[in-house]
Structure 1
Amino acid sequence: LQGPLDMRMNKSVQHNAEDILNSYSQQQLQRIFGEYGQVRNAKTLANTIAEARNQEEIETIEDFIKVVSPVIKGNRNKYLSQVFQALRIEVNDELNALKEFLEQTKEILKTGGRLVVISYHSLEDRIIKNFIRHGNTREAQEEDLFGGAKKHFRAINKKPIIPTAEEVKRNPRAHSARMRIAEKV
């Protein structure tokens, strides 16, 4: 717990979790925790962080957990997982990286090629589902020259494929995995 608040997947990325916690506005923190972590008390959490950092910078994981402990709602581990997930997504710009990847598949895959994507939380899954449905990450249906819906992909499975109870027992981290498959048309 004495470790740094880094969370970068690529050390060339300029800002880390410590920078975000100590420099983002309360509104920015609230947005991150609400959108990316789906934390119910995101406003309270953001206010608590802002007040604490005015006293002293938040530098380590231990510092951060001490700051947020008084506002934890429900299951402590689940709450902290959501908070750290939100920070990690922001630090690494994960959702934009996913969107860029998906947009590139339209150019890379040949007609009949298969797109198989596994997501590990609902934010990713929603982006993937809408990309397959609309053919873009803007969630707006593209139209052809005649005003008809332009289809880039056809969903192979209507609902995501989820791990079996046996798989989750063997690999507990698989419990949130969702796999979607689409074919380029």
Structure 2
Amino acid sequence: MAQEGGLMSEYHVPVMLKECMEGLHIIPDGVYVDVTFGGGGHSREILKNLGEGGRLLAFDQDEDAKKNIPNDDRLTFIDQNFRFLKNYCRLHSAMQVDGILADLGVSSHQFDQPERGFSTRFDADLDMRMDQSAPITAKEVIASYSEEELHRIFGMYGEIQNAKSLARTLVTARLNRQIDTIAEFKEVIKKLIPKGKENKYLAQAFQALRIEVNQELEALQEFLLQAADVLKPGGRLVVMSYHSLEDRLVKNFIAKGKFRGELEKDFYGNIQRPLDAVTRKAVVATDEEIALNSRARSAKLRVAVKL
């Protein structure tokens, strides 16, 4: 699906594009933020729905995303992680916006670049940084984290059944050799991988490392708290997640205005939270879309409105 003036074909086709636009409920002269620009698919669609007076701010920290910026005066590109949403909205005089969109999936373009170390299909250094200037790589996580820390990230972020054994195996193996590449990592852990489940197991292990390296869950929590402040009353938040931990954070924040604990009420029993769910349950892709785009299978879309 090549698009003019960009590398859209190398990036993923946006998941649930129609549902995302419906969720944003775009007003032509509104101000919108796409915090995960990537291939620019969602941003282009937002621009199509905006009039001349509309504005779009787009965030992405991946160098390659810059190649996809459309030539449009209404768009401001911000080369930053979305955890700095509030600062950059203030900097660009957009302190109250009409809608914010986040698609938390890693683009297939990143997976297809062997040297980035995201994919189990290629051999490369264990890198996995979304932001190439970030300090810590997957190689350093494996080399320096304690057995307890490795157990936690593989168990929590990868939902790997034998996470404890995996952590112990890595800690033992690194006493004798460095584990620098994807091939070395696979070699060290091959006895732990259930027969016939190789791809799934490796995908879960890689996901765990990627989430840790990029501090994805911490960034998501910071982003959600700031999104609630940046939205104007009646503004929409649209978040698409692909992992149960991400979806739980989004769901809890929309329901309670926080990530853990009970819903808070004021002295009169009124609920204290900044957002209200527009859809009671997460929106999922249609069977037709999943048949065309396998990435859509795990996607969950949640839409909320600022109270």
Tell me the TM-score range normalised by the shorter chain. over 0.9
Does 2:289 match 1:181?
Answer: no
Q: What's the offset of the Cα at 1:175?
A: 0.8
Q: How does 1:97-176 map to 2 (within 5 A)?
A: 97-146=219-268, 148-176=270-298
Q: What's the offset of the Cα at 1:135?
A: 1.0
Q: What's the offset of the Cα at 1:146?
A: 4.0
Mapped to 2, the partners of 1:145 and 1:94 lie a distance apart of 36
AA paired with 1:168?
I
Corresponding residue for residue 180 of structure 2:
59
Closer/same/farther in 2, CA of residues 139 and 97 from structure 1, 3 Å limit: farther
> What TM-score does the superposition give when structure 2 sets the normalisation length?
0.58
Deviates more, 1:52-61 or 1:150-159: 150-159
RMSD: 1.3
Mapped to 1, the partners of 2:247 and 2:278 lie a distance apart of 15
AA paired with 1:93?
Q
Mapped to 2, the partners of 1:170 and 1:37 lie a distance apart of 26
Corresponding residue for residue 20 of structure 1:
141
Matched residue of 2:276: which SS? strand
Q: How does 1:35-54 map to 2 (within 5 A)?
A: 35-54=156-175
Q: Deviation per CA, 1:24-79, whole angstroms, max 9, x where unpaired?
A: 01000000000000001000000111111111010100000111111013511111
Corresponding residue for residue 77 of structure 1:
199
Q: What's the offset of the Cα at 1:142?
A: 3.2
Mapped to 2, the partners of 1:33 and 1:94 lie a distance apart of 14
Mapped to 1, the partners of 2:260 and 2:133 lie a distance apart of 28
Unmatched segments (≥5 aa) in structure 2: 1-121
Mapped to 2, the partners of 1:124 and 1:142 lie a distance apart of 22
Identify the structure with the greater strand proportion.
2
Q: What's the offset of the Cα at 1:12?
A: 2.1
Q: What's the offset of the Cα at 1:110?
A: 1.0
Contact 1:156–1:183 (Cα < 8 Å) also in 2: yes
Mapped to 2, the partners of 1:72 and 1:123 lie a distance apart of 23
Q: What's the offset of the Cα at 1:148?
A: 3.6
AA paired with 1:133?
A
AA paired with 2:247?
D
Mapped to 2, the partners of 1:2 and 1:84 lie a distance apart of 13
Identify the structure with the greater helix proportion.
1
Contact 1:37–1:86 (Cα < 8 Å) also in 2: yes
Unmatched segments (≥5 aa) in structure 1: none
